[in-house]
Structure formats: structure tokens, C-alpha cells
Amino acid sequence: KQEVTQIPAALSVPEGENLVLNCSFTDSAIYNLQWFRQDPGKGLTSLLLIQSSQREQTSGRLNASLDKSSGRSTLYIAASQPGDSATYLCAVCNQAGTALIFGKGTTLSVSS
């Protein structure tokens, strides 16, 4: 059974710092890996999607990498801002492409 783990569970940084969120998964047979952001009381917003054949994706200040063979992904956030404060969720898509399996998230707090 696929399991997704995110470390750390919570992170507090001052504004301007670069930071890395970690995600690991137990079964490398995935269709893709996605990073989402969740703000309190709201739904999920997709940040980046990395297909299983890809190594990384970039969007603005965000860069996500994928090492499928070792079951790891990282989300790099450059020059963090208070508006980046949220819970970040990593999810892997099963090989059938029908379901996302989520980690429990990393709650990020960026102070000004």
C-alpha cells in the first residue's frame, strides 16, 4: 500500500528565507506527483505537477523535484513571503491515474 510522508510537519521561517519541504513515498510505481497548497478553511490549490518521466517543474519562486527511484520529492520555495503561509500537501497519483494519495502536509509559517 502506497504511503506518503512529509517532513517536517511544521516549519516557521522569517521572510526572505529559502526553504525546502520534503516528501517521500513507498511505491515508485506512480503516474505523477503533485504539490498542493491549502489555506485554512479552503480547498486545495494545485502548485506543480511532475509526470513520472520528469525530474522537476518550476513555477515562479517554486521548484519541485522528483526522484522516482528513491521515492523522494522536494518543494523548494525561494525568497519566502508571509503570503506563502499555508499547509503544503504532497500527493502521488496511482499508476492507474485514478486517485491521489496524500501526505499529511507541512504547515509553513512565514513571519514578516
Partner 1 sequence: GAGVSQSPSNKVTEKGKDVELRCDPISGHTALYWYRQSLGQGLEFLIYFQGNSAPDKSGLPSDRFSAERTGGSVSTLTIQRTQQEDSAVYLCASSRQGTGTDTQYFGPGTRLTVL
**Residues lying near partner 1 in the complex (CB under 8 A):** 31-32, 34, 36, 42-46, 49, 51, 89, 91, 93, 96-105
Which is nearer to partner 1, 77 or 91 (by Cβ)?
91
Other residues' Cβ atoms within 10 Å of the Cβ of residue 110:
20
Which is nearer to partner 1, 60 or 112 (by Cβ)?
60
**CB-CB contact of 33 with 90 (8 Å):** yes
Residue with cell 492507474: 96
CB 85 → partner 1: shortest distance, Å?
A: 19
CB 98 → partner 1: shortest distance, Å?
A: 4
Torsion angles phi and psi, residue 66, rounded to 5: -135, 125
Say what the alpha-carbon torsion angle 90, 67, 59, 82 is, to the nearest 10 degrees: 50
CB 111 → partner 1: shortest distance, Å?
A: 26
Which is nearer to partner 1, 13 or 102 (by Cβ)?
102
